Structure 1
Amino acid sequence: MAEDRIRIDKWLWQARFFKTRGLAAEAVSGGHLRLNGVPMGKPGHAVGPGDVLTFPQGDRIRVVRILGCGSRRGPAPEARALYDDLHAPPEGGG
């Protein structure tokens, strides 16, 4: 890994939660993201492995633990390796 810390907006974009870095920055500065349970309003705040992010995405609330910072916005499988989804939907369904 190139770095062990990265801006929140850049990480959200690289992990493919937002289509653009600008949309990720808007979500953070709009007060829609919590970092380790604390409301965060600065897109430039640094995050790293072990940090937990909580934010809305569509009609659900995402809770993810950062596993890595990455070095680019790659394909979905590469992006998926950057985080652990703490509220994954149950398998099977009903």
Structure 2
Amino acid sequence: MRVDKWLWAARFFKTRSIAKAAIEGGKVHHASERVKVSKEIRIGMELTIQQGKDKKTVVITGLSSTRGPASIAQQLYEETPTSISRRELLASQRKLDNLAKPEHKPSKKDRRQINKFKEHNTEQFEDWSYHTDSY
């Protein structure tokens, strides 16, 4: 069975043409090497598939030439435990990164308060200096 057809049947990609484009773009690897669209796959092969920011390493456990429901498609492969843990770690890091960013830019009122705060704090330290003139 061709790898593009299996990726489509296993529901990694919506259409075979999208699967083909991903393979040609270097998003699918076997044994750390790029796969060709016509590559014949077998049960037990390990594929690394990159979809967006996620990179999955799966072991093929079944072959199907037809696209069925998601519950059946999930039985065609098994994701490796290291792949699952790596994806979860990266997802949590992306989530924490999004929390560090403000949800919205400051409004006019917020900017005024920020400027007032900055001016107030700089006035306190205008006379202060590291150097002393008295020796």
Q: What TM-score do the two structures reach when normalised by structure 2? A: 0.59
Which structure shows the bigger proportion of residues in helix conformation?
Answer: 2
- Selected match of 1:30 from 7, 25, 47: 25
Give aligned-pair identity as a percent. 40
The answer for unaligned runs of 5 or more in structure 1 is 1-5
Q: What TM-score do the two structures reach when normalised by structure 1? A: 0.82
Distance 2:24 2:65 in 1: 23
Q: How many residues align?
A: 85
Deviation for aligned residue 1:66: 0.4
Which structure shows the bigger proportion of residues in strand conformation?
Answer: 1
Matches within 5 A, 1:48-67: 48-67=42-61
Tell me which residue corresponds to 1:81. Answer: 75
Distance 1:80 1:12 in 2: 11
Contact kept? 2:4, 2:38, Cα under 8 Å: yes
Tell me which residue corresponds to 2:6. Answer: 11
Please identify the structure whose Cα radius of gyration is greater: 2
Work out which structure has the larger RCO, using CA pairs closer than 8 Å and 6 or more positions apart in sequence.
Answer: 1
* RMSD, matched Cα: 1.5
The answer for unaligned runs of 5 or more in structure 2 is 93-135
